Amino acid sequence: MTTILHLDSSARPGRSGAQPHGSHTRRLTARFLERYRQLDSETEVIYRDLGAEPPAPVTGNWVHAAFTPPAAREPWMAEVLAQSDQLVDELLRADIIVAGVPMYNFGPPAQFKAWIDNIVRIGRTFGFDRARPGEPYWPLLADAGKQLVILSSRGDYGYGPGQRLEGLNHVEASVRSAFRYIGVEQAFSAAIEYDEFGDERLARSIAEAEQATDRLAEAIAARRAPDAARRVA
């Protein structure tokens, strides 16, 4: 059975196309899940609405606790790390991470960055040893076979590779970098653009992003579900 960790991080509570001023990224993540479940009905989904319930930001006490060896931690340290431990546990259970990450001021929303800061954990998702010269850090999820799907949206257009605003797109690159650091190398993405224009270009971008999202769900399901390839064909 495939387990999907479904993350929404938009501050907008609804989905575009269904609610006024709804979120484009929530629209795409829901579409991915719907299409994937059509191909693999036994999929388990873990859902986190980071937009509605942001994780607590990292504090000095959090850092102190996280970098203290588990056997030496005091009771207060376990309390400080309790939410982070839960978020890491959910990530470890997942085969696929489907993340709705809108662009806010050229980067991910603060609530998604807070989630990243909570799951990039020494001893849990990455290792560190000063005695390893030249390679003190290493990813702990490198052999887990996890896949990441980043579904984004932006108000302007041209943020893709080789396009006019590529250098200002710090969403996909930063999210991929954080996941690569812990060992998740397989990453895919789709995005809606032109939101601030609200004309036929937005409608076209939505349609194209939905088609791309369907294709991603189909391609990933075909690799994971035994008979999904036949159903897609």
Q: Which residues belong to the annotated binding site?
A: 10, 103-106
- Interatomic CA distance for residues 173 and 212, integer angstroms: 19
**Is residue 40 within 8 Å of residue 224, measured between CB atoms?**
yes
> C-alpha distances in angstroms, 216 versus 31, 53, 162?
11, 27, 22
Query: Based on the number of CB atoms within 10 Å of its own CB, is 90 exposed (0-12), middle (13-18) or buried (19 or more)?
Result: middle
**Is residue 30 within 8 Å of residue 15, measured between CB atoms?**
yes
- Interatomic CA distance for residues 203 and 102, integer angstroms: 17
Residues in the annotated binding site for FMN: 10, 103-106
**Is residue 151 within 8 Å of residue 34, measured between CB atoms?**
no
Closest CA to 156 of 201, 101, 211: 201
DSSP label at residue 165: T
